[in-house]
Amino acid sequence: MGQDTLGVRLFMLLGVAGVALIAGCSPPKVSRVDFTLFEEDGRQERHFTEFREAFYRTSPGGSLELVCRAERPSAMDPTQTITQILYVKSFWRPQPGTTFVEATQINARAQYAMLTPPTGVRYDGGAFVSYKIDKRTGVLTGAIESGSLSPKYRIGEAVEPFGAARFTGVIRATEKPRDVVSTLLMLESQFSQLIDSAPAGR
């Protein structure tokens, strides 16, 4: 079977999962990110992904690095695995009662990657993130209150499955500094081919 495009896979992966958040539900036990995709014809599509793996590390300077990871067999070809990775690094942390914030602010950079070896696409952007860490358990809970992404890099002949996107999310993560570092190294080393402003075939 020939390798299908990332666009088809994104639809099959996210489309069957659901569309909108259900109001009034208790916080999920896993990290969840909701995407609003902006199509070239002006349409908007909403999808979400639940990340079963989520881990973080903090630095002495107070910055946070967060990784969410999800893997699932392709609905088009079960022999292939789709991997989604969200990486977020905060610049500063808002302090309730002392820091003035609004929805348009950005306090973190974000990278979102979809990989179906030997191809992949990475989106870069920014986000506003708030969080707290349980001093007893070390578990981080937080929210991506707003964020934006645009296609930036590809691996091989991958075609970006969507253009610009906005995202929000709820995060629950454990402290695993080594996993954060290894994921970041992979994102930086494997994605070196810039996506042209007008890719061939479009």
The pLDDT, as a whole number, for residue 94 is 60
Q: Which amino acid is at 168?
A: T
Give 15-60 pLDDT, tens digit per residue. Answer: 333 333 333 345 457 899 999 998 877 789 999 999 999 999 998 8
The pLDDT, as a whole number, for residue 5 is 37
- Asked whether the predicted pLDDT for residue 199 surpasses 50, the reply is no
In the block, tokens 């479009």 appear at 202
The pLDDT, as a whole number, for residue 185 is 96
Exposed, middle or buried by CB within 10 Å (0-12, 13-18, 19+), for 142?
Answer: buried
Q: Cα(176)–Cα(180) distance, rounded to whole angstroms?
A: 7
| Band of pLDDT at residue 62, cut at 50, 70 and 90 | confident
Exposed, middle or buried by CB within 10 Å (0-12, 13-18, 19+), for 22?
Answer: exposed
Residue-range domain boundaries for the chain = 6-20+27-194
pTM comes to 0.80
Range name among 81-85, 94-98, 110-114 with the lowest pLDDT average? 94-98
What is the mean pLDDT of the segment spanning 123-148? Answer: 95
The pLDDT, as a whole number, for residue 24 is 39
